[in-house]
Amino acid sequence: MRLLQVCTERRFEELFDNRSFNHAEKTEGFEKEFELATDLVGIILEKYVGAESFKLHQSYNNTSRFIDIAFLTEGYLNASLILDLQKSLSGMAEEWMVCLWESCFIFVTPKDIFGFDPSKADPLFEKLKECTDDDHG
């Protein structure tokens, strides 16, 4: 099975513009849940790209379980990183979506990985499109 589902422009806009996923029913306790999720994501990203290569782009301001992370390099376009992230998200009590982006956009949930390349020509994204989950499992 292909690792990455390529988004249409419309689907990308729905995911990125809304920055909304699996809202918590209440705000009580959400800050702690958010910190746990971002700490977990940070550990994985540091392992692959180093702490200086990414920045949490927006902190929680509502109860959406959507983490938006901007990168300074394309090091996030790495199948092993993405699969490790997905595996870690699968172990969380609630479902989260993480958006990794610089020149391309990768949306990771416990069940799906979506990608969008605005240029339609990024060589690392093209390589990632060819990966299967078996290649890196």
The torsion region of residue 29 among left (phi > 0), alpha (psi -120 to 50) and beta comes to left
Task: State pTM to two decimals.
Answer: 0.92
Q: Roughly how many angstroms between the first and final C-alpha of the chain, as a whole number?
A: 11
pLDDT at 60: 56
> For the chain, what are the domain ranges?
5-136
d(Cα 68, Cα 95) in Å, to the nearest integer? Answer: 15
Residue 121 burial class via C-beta count within 10 angstroms: exposed 0-12, middle 13-18, buried 19 and up: exposed
pLDDT at 40: 93
pLDDT 10s per residue in the chain (137 long)? 678 999 999 999 999 887 889 988 888 888 888 889 999 999 999 999 998 999 876 555 678 899 999 999 999 999 999 999 999 999 998 999 999 999 999 999 999 999 999 999 999 999 999 987 676 65
